[in-house]
Structure 1
Amino acid sequence: MAPQTTSLRAALAYAGNLFSQLQVPLGGGRSDSDNAPSRLPSSVFGHTNPADNSNNFPAAGITPYDPLSGAPTCPIDSPVSCNNKTSTEDSCCFVNPGGRLLLTQFWDEETHVGGAEEDWTLHGLWPDLCDGSFDQFCGMAPKFNNITEVLEHYDQSELVEYMNRYWVAKYGTNDHLWAHEYNKHGTCVNTLAPSCYGDAYKPGMEVVDYFARAFGLFRTLDTYRALQRAGIEPDPRATHPLAKIQAALEDFSGSRVILKCGGARHDLLHEAWYVYFVQGSLQSGEFVPARDSFHGDKGNCAKNVRYLPKRSK
């Protein structure tokens, strides 16, 4: 069933702890004929009222996840990225060297197509190096420029519909943005290499895994709702202590959050970057909230910032 146009808060289910939602696989089994990931089950994008569960707030913890594709299942005691001194650069069960994953979101200036006033949108999932620097366009995984075509080939049209609402380009097409994000960042994830899929590999499986994992994590991180719970809502005149915003989002997610701001005085709240490690592979591993300080973890915001309402197009 095609999703209805609604806000992110209403569209995404809040059934118990948000982190536990990722125990529902974003793809059931695989087709006997081609090992392709199955269609996203409707329960993943169930429409429920978050008010029904208003007292259940996300807690820090590791996020279980079932693999989408033919990628190998990793041992339960797989090392956590950036927390293991053993040389495992070639392992398909250890994200390395880009083991610090940043789930990045935008507070857009304008209401995007199909969205609502309270929607933050997805920017990307970035595998930064453990010291906070980063590689890009790595080639560990193949490049793809036809993301929609690949996802639809693997019967992921519902995922594409949701990405068109919550992973949107300010300029150009959404497909161009997704290709840019994948080719710049996804190709730097070593566990997405074709060799990690073994004989089950078919081109594009890694694309499904990357986008479904990124969107699956994004759907647990409702930045608007987290700030609202702290009494912080878009307002054309109000200013808010940056420290209060930081604390609200870090308490909400359990992870380190890096905030970015625009404007001449860097006082317009614009981006939130949630920081994670991964235990196991990107495909089948668990996101572990990262709370440590590292090179590159500093935001650029002023001490007091504004959180402006969106402008209608």
Structure 2
Amino acid sequence: MLAATLALGALAGSAIATPSLTTPVDAMNLFSKRISSGCSTSGAASCHNTTKQTDLCCFESPGGLLLQTQFWDTNPSTGPSNSWTIHGLWPDNCDGTFTENCDSSRDYTDIADLLTNQGASDTLSFMKEFWVDINGQNEQFWEHEWSTHGTCYSTLKTSCLPSGSPKGAEAVAFFQTVVKLFKTLPTYDFLANAGITPDSSKTYTLTTLTNALKSASGVTPALNCDGSSLNAIEWYFNLKGSVIDGQFVAIDAPSKGSCGSSGIKYVPKSGGTSTTTSGGSSPTGGSGLPNKGTIHASTTGGLLTGGTWSVQTLATYTFSGTSSSFTMSTSKGSCGVSSGKLTCGSGVSATTFSAVTSGSNLLLAVSGSTAFSSDATPSGTAQETVFTGNSHSKTYTLSIVSS
């Protein structure tokens, strides 16, 4: 449903604003932008067109179901103790499937310099406080969110930009938009205004939490838990116009997320905060199971959409459940193990997996075992079948890394 219209207004300072999502705002007058899309916001919202749209610079497609995702990281903690933090802005297809890593030629590095050099230092300052990685790898986190999700927006293709735009201008616009959208979604305040604040002993029903959030915002988001602890939220939107300066139309989440119906904990941020560094690996979700992520082999490469091992661009996996018991899927379908072989596809019966924490890694496990093996190590475009156990010549473990 088209529950509410939210335009991206200029929100001064670093404080998170608390407007209702049901209050329309004139995006074209208030959006503090460096580039303009030149698109109207009076047409159909993404996923709600009745005729074929040909100008995909001004109509987001196929990824017209947008998710503004936020973390509540508690140990180690990230961001201020009275605010959730940004995970990203993901363009799912209208049917809930998704694509990722859509244009490797625009996998920009050094996002911080890109923002600074194009006059978006205020956006960068906010990101350093509210868009932070649980392992302190902020730059890699930002690069990952752009390359994995940002490059898949049709309205952010370079051919859609004004003539003479500097290289990376669309990425700068992406980060500006995510920050401005996040500022209109103060999840902590929405809950606190209903008397729901972090507490180590209290528990809540899912209905209590979603009712509080809907009362404040006008829509129902999806809530995700690590075990019984609330750790992530997904706010859903359709879009009128361009990601650069369009209107975000808030909608109810198409699913409720992974939290159970009762006994949900909203625990305080108690662990130490990570220190931002410039090196290291891609961001992970820590000991908690992420909602989406990639799966990396301990030796090289990782898993593709069919569950095979490769050194090509890794697939995004969706995880449903808790770290002790979950199912996973890709854009091809559910993932399962049959006759000791891992596959993902439309006709695959889902297997229940678990995840085991090993140091800073979250290892995929089947029946408690984290061992996997293949007949050869992949190279180039080759793909190797993944078997459970260590009975084949090349053995390795598989780490789940948050998207």
- Could you state the TM-score of these two structures normalised by the residue count of structure 1? 0.77
User: Please, what is the CA RMSD of the aligned residues?
Assistant: 2.4
CA distance in 2 between counterparts of 1:117 and 1:104 reads 18
CA distance in 1 between counterparts of 2:105 and 2:197 reads 40
User: Which 10-residue stretch deviates more, 299-308 or 140-149?
Assistant: 140-149
Give the 3 Å change call, closer, same or farther, for CA 102–141 of structure 1 in structure 2.
farther
- Equivalent residues of 1:140, 1:190 under 8 A apart: no
Out of 138, 143, 156, the position equivalent to 2:102 is: 138
- Equivalent residues of 1:78, 1:93 under 8 A apart: no
The secondary structure found in structure 2 opposite 1:91 is coil
Give the 3 Å change call, closer, same or farther, for CA 190–80 of structure 1 in structure 2.
same
- Equivalent residues of 1:255, 1:276 under 8 A apart: no
TM alignment of 1:52-91, pairs within 5 A: 58-66=20-28, 68-91=33-56
CA distance in 2 between counterparts of 1:180 and 1:134 reads 16
CA distance in 2 between counterparts of 1:47 and 1:285 reads 22
Matched, 1:279 2:240: yes
- Equivalent residues of 1:122, 1:167 under 8 A apart: yes
CA distance in 1 between counterparts of 2:138 and 2:50 reads 39
The secondary structure found in structure 1 opposite 2:27 is coil
Q: Looking at secondary structure, tell me which structure has more helix per residue.
A: 1
Matched, 1:45 2:13: yes
What letter is aligned with 2:65?
Answer: R
The secondary structure found in structure 2 opposite 1:119 is coil
CA distance in 2 between counterparts of 1:140 and 1:275 reads 26
Query: What percent identity do the matched residue pairs reach?
Result: 34
1:282 deviation in Å? 0.7
Figure out how many residues of one structure are paired with residues of the other and give that number.
264
1:227-268: CA deviation from partner (whole Å, max 9, x where unpaired): 1111211111110011111121123222330110002xxx11
CA distance in 1 between counterparts of 2:269 and 2:235 reads 22
The secondary structure found in structure 2 opposite 1:199 is coil
The residue number in structure 2 matching 1:303 is 261
Q: Looking at secondary structure, tell me which structure has more strand per residue.
A: 2
The secondary structure found in structure 1 opposite 2:106 is coil
1:176 deviation in Å? 0.2
The secondary structure found in structure 2 opposite 1:45 is coil
The residue number in structure 1 matching 2:315 is none
CA distance in 2 between counterparts of 1:162 and 1:177 reads 15
Out of 215, 229, 237, the position equivalent to 1:268 is: 229
TM alignment of 1:126-275, pairs within 5 A: 126-139=90-103, 142-263=106-227, 267-275=228-236
The secondary structure found in structure 2 opposite 1:236 is strand
1:157 deviation in Å? 1.8
Give the 3 Å change call, closer, same or farther, for CA 226–47 of structure 1 in structure 2.
closer
What letter is aligned with 1:309?
Answer: P
- Equivalent residues of 1:147, 1:178 under 8 A apart: yes
The secondary structure found in structure 2 opposite 1:200 is coil
The secondary structure found in structure 2 opposite 1:177 is helix
CA distance in 1 between counterparts of 2:152 and 2:132 reads 22
1:253-289: CA deviation from partner (whole Å, max 9, x where unpaired): 22330110002xxx11011100011101111210111
Unpaired segments of 5 or more residues in structure 2? 1-5, 273-403
CA distance in 2 between counterparts of 1:279 and 1:245 reads 29
Give the 3 Å change call, closer, same or farther, for CA 268–46 of structure 1 in structure 2.
closer
CA distance in 2 between counterparts of 1:248 and 1:311 reads 24
The secondary structure found in structure 1 opposite 2:43 is coil
What letter is aligned with 1:272?
Answer: I
- Equivalent residues of 1:64, 1:285 under 8 A apart: no
**Greater relative contact order structure (CA < 8 Å, 6+ sep):** 1
Matched, 1:101 2:66: yes
Larger radius of gyration: 2
Unpaired segments of 5 or more residues in structure 1? 1-18, 25-42, 51-55
1:311 deviation in Å? 0.9
CA distance in 2 between counterparts of 1:73 and 1:120 reads 33
What letter is aligned with 1:161?
Answer: S
- Could you state the TM-score of these two structures normalised by the residue count of structure 2? 0.61
- Equivalent residues of 2:77, 2:270 under 8 A apart: no
Give the 3 Å change call, closer, same or farther, for CA 303–183 of structure 1 in structure 2.
same
1:38-90: CA deviation from partner (whole Å, max 9, x where unpaired): xxxxx611659x8xxxxx86242445424624343212422210000322254
1:140 deviation in Å? 9.1
The secondary structure found in structure 2 opposite 1:239 is strand
1:142 deviation in Å? 2.3
The secondary structure found in structure 2 opposite 1:259 is strand
